[in-house]
């Protein structure tokens, strides 16, 4: 059948309209990824973020890390707010005792303590957290000057006295506690631009088991007496909670609420210590960890132990943890304790 000119024109117009509608629909589906939400549509779901100090998925708080110096002697136990820390460093101080540097970012307990004095080792450890806030109760003039010169936000007792309070139930210096809300407020006023810290470790995917032929099943790790510490430290794998539980001086370590102190990972970083040049009130040497360099490391994770090396080429570079093949040691997403153990242990 032959079409008239008018009919041919009408058919051409209809075909053009259908093609234009189809092209527009295809473009809309591509831009919206097929769910009806465009690239700028607030209803489009965001990719889940990863908490830098835990390696778990979650909303990353837009705030800096908060480091708090916490006592771990028998007089300072049980501590308050310790189990909420993302990362805890345990370092040697004078007399072979240890002290904690608890780092908070993903969550803040209401109160932390007992808060104690700073050491020079803290400054290098905190230096890997971008520009963190640092809560401490005091120090000798040498360490105080070092803290004041460091690239961190000072929320110590002298800078934020209203954030601290003595507990009359205890005795000084083991009874000073701080409000994290007040610490955060002072820190925000000091530097409102400070942001989240970088990651300190490499992690496996959440739920992924440790699949490393070099891993050794391990139920217990105890810092050897050859390390020369006066504090006895042991970690035991708890299958039910899939965490390592800490024992100190023969007793289970619990917080003030009776909650077991535990971690998904324990990083045993064998580190030489040197004389800081400072003496305490009794004349004892105040040791300082040599955190720049390299040494052996043991990583307790997923009920197993990995051996490797830690390396920190300079104070401005991060510490890396690698296996014998040079590949990063992968931790379980979750809380981590770092035992900065003296060489020989």
Structure tokens at 15: 């075909």
Residue of 9, 63, 55, 26 whose CA lies nearest to 190: 63
Sequence ranges of the chain with CATH classification 3.50.90.10: 202-342
pLDDT of res. 46: 52
**What's the CATH number for 202-342?**
3.50.90.10
- Total Cβ atoms within 10 A of residue 132: 24
- Total Cβ atoms within 10 A of residue 111: 15
Convert the pLDDT of each residue in 256-285 to its tens digit.
999 999 999 999 999 999 999 888 878 888
Query: Could you tell me whether strands 220-222 and 233-238 are parallel, antiparallel, or unpaired per DSSP bridges?
Result: antiparallel
CB 60 within 8 A of CB 51: yes
**Separation in Å, CA 120 to CA 130, 131, 276:** 17, 16, 8
Q: How far apart are CA 42 and CA 177, in angstroms?
A: 42
Cα distance from N-terminal residue to C-terminal residue, the chain: 98
pLDDT of res. 174: 95
pLDDT of res. 284: 85
pLDDT of res. 43: 40
**Separation in Å, CA 47 to CA 32, 50, 149:** 15, 10, 39
Residues of the chain with pLDDT under 50: 1-45
Phi, psi of 9 (to 5 degrees): -65, -45
Q: Could you tell me how many residues make up the chain?
A: 345
Q: What angle do CA 240, 244, 250 make, to 5 degrees?
A: 110
Task: Please list the residues that pair with 309 across neighbouring strands.
Answer: 296, 322
């Amino acid at each position: 059948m032959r079409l008239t000119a008018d009919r041919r024109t009408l058919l051409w117009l209809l075909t053009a309209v259908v093609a234009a509608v189809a092209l527009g629909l295809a473009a809309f589906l591509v831009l919206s990824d097929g769910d009806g939400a465009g690239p700028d549509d607030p209803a489009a779901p965001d990719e889940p973020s990863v908490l830098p100090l835990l390696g778990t998925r979650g909303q990353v708080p837009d705030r800096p890390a908060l480091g708090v110096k916490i006592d771990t002697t028998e007089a300072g136990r049980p501590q308050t707010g310790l189990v909420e820390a993302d990362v805890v460093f345990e370092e040697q101080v004078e007399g072979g005792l240890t002290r904690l540097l608890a780092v908070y970012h993903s969550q803040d307990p209401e109160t932390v303590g007992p808060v104690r004095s700073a050491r020079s080792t803290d400054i290098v450890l905190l230096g890997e957290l971008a520009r963190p806030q640092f809560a401490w109760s005091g120090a000798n003039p040498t360490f105080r000057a070092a803290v004041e010169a460091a690239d961190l936000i000072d929320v110590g007792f002298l800078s934020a006295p209203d954030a601290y309070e003595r507990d009359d139930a205890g005795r000084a210096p083991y009874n000073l506690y701080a409000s994290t809300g007040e610490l955060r407020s002072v820190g925000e006023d000091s530097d409102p631009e400070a942001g989240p810290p970088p990651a300190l470790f490499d992690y496996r995917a959440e739920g992924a088991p440790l699949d490393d032929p070099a891993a050794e099943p391990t139920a217990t790790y105890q810092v050897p007496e050859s390390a020369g510490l006066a504090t006895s430290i042991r970690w035991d794998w708890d299958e039910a909670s899939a965490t390592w539980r800490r024992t100190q001086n023969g007793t289970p370590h619990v917080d003030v609420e009776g909650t077991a102190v535990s971690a998904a990972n324990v990083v045993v970083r064998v580190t030489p210590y040197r004389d800081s040049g400072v003496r305490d009130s009794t004349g004892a040497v105040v040791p300082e960890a040599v955190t720049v360099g390299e040494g052996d490391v043991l990583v307790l994770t997923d009920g197993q132990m990995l051996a490797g090396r830690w390396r920190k080429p300079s104070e401005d570079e991060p510490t890396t943890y690698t296996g014998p093949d040079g590949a990063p040691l992968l931790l379980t997403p979750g809380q981590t304790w770092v035992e900065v153990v003296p060489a020989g242990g």
